[in-house]
A = this chain, B = another copy of it.
């Protein structure tokens, strides 16, 4: 509990099996150990993460509210009830940075509306790590989330992204459900010019980390297999 406004801490969680000391600043562990009320994307992974942060944490004494893709944003206000009583709270995503590529932003927006302090903490983000590792333009970039799944819509989205690369010199970052990765790669190779460069990054921060940047012409020749491997994709010229 703070002596001034309560704080909503945004705690990044691990992306891989890496040790916590490889991916989180020590202050995160210290702070998370003091928080008793959490808003989490997935209770099971959040409990596991908390135990990995500090085995001394008494998980059963904590409260968890679930904020995930199925949550109605209008229920977020009620989740912040402990803050009304002066308690700090923490947000934990399923993997990586809360409020980025997950619904945690609803909790942050509500905290701002209520005048609470918001404290984002440093930690692993597959978007940022893949951008750093890609060699693509990091001075202008877009994260677009998931692309449309179906043929003509997907082709249109890819062409629009390619146009944005060429017109605005802007790196395009996107994700896919892992079992559809190979389909996505085939669609990209079939749709965009072979000189376009693509980076695929897997197991970021983990022991199997691979960051591969090649032209689509080169990707076509190596017939890559990323089936069921969590991956992030980047396109650039």
Residues of A within 8 A of B (CB): 10, 19-27, 97-106, 108-112, 118-120, 122-125, 127-145, 170, 204-205, 209, 211, 213
Q: Considering the chains assembled together, what is the distance between the CA atoms of A106 and B138 in angstroms?
A: 10
Enumerate chain B residues within 8 angstroms of A103, measured Cβ to Cβ: 139
Grouping DSSP codes into helix (H, G, I), strand (E, B) and loop, the A interface class, with mixed when no group exceeds half, is: mixed
- Distance in Å: Cβ of A30 to nearest Cβ of chain B: 9
Given B20, B97, B125, B139, which contacts A101 in the complex, CB threshold below 8 Å? Answer: B139
Enumerate chain B residues within 8 angstroms of A97, measured Cβ to Cβ: 128, 132, 138
Enumerate chain B residues within 8 angstroms of A24, measured Cβ to Cβ: 25, 122
* Contact B140–A104 (Cβ < 8 Å): no
- Distance in Å: Cβ of A78 to nearest Cβ of chain B: 17
Given A22-B122, A108-B134, 6 other A-B contacts at CB below 8 A?
A23-B27, A98-B132, A101-B138, A105-B139, A109-B136, A120-B211
* Contact B109–A135 (Cβ < 8 Å): yes
Enumerate chain B residues within 8 angstroms of A118, measured Cβ to Cβ: 133, 135, 211
